[in-house]
Amino acid sequence: MRESDFYAEQSSALTTLINSIGTTVAVLMGIGAVFGAILTMYTAVSSRSREIATLRALGFGATPVVVSVLIEALLLGLIGGLIGAAIAYFGFNGYQANTLNFQSFTQVTFAFAVTPELLKQGVIYALLMALIGGLLPSIRAARAPITNALRET
């Protein structure tokens, strides 16, 4: 058996544990980010209800309003994803940590490698959260009654 295969087998339980904890944290933070995106986009829509109603009164349909709000959400998600990718790359790429291997009671040292593929996955995840977070506010913006929104101050 090759030495690298032996160590990979010895640390398989620890690798599974770290991956499952990382996935759980990412999903929970993603859910929180979706709620943050929903609140942000609802605020943006409510603060611009008069402008949206004006566009609707000028003849723009519901679809362009939905698309415009979704594009705004995606742009915010892209900016946030790129900032997060930069922080992850410069903060954790090459960072070394160690822990105890519970199977052999030896110390395992590993280094984080932030690859371009991981950065791409992170930005795509941010865009997906932005899309989900912007969907309900965009539908609300498109369904808002034009006359009521024009009367608001």
Could you tell me the CA-to-CA distances from 137 to 25, 45, 128 in Å, in that order?
A: 26, 7, 15
Could you tell me the CA-to-CA distances from 52 to 9, 78, 147 in Å, in that order?
A: 59, 23, 11
pLDDT digits (tens, 9 = 90+) for 82-96: 999 999 999 989 888
Give the count of alpha carbons within 13 A of 153, CB side only: 0
Q: How confident is the model at residue 143 (pLDDT cuts 50, 70, 90)?
A: confident
Delimit the domains of the chain by residue range.
3-151
Cβ atoms 38, 133 nearer than 8 A: yes
Longest dimension (CA), the chain: 77
pLDDT digits (tens, 9 = 90+) for 74-129: 999 999 999 999 999 999 898 888 877 666 677 777 788 899 999 999 999 999 99
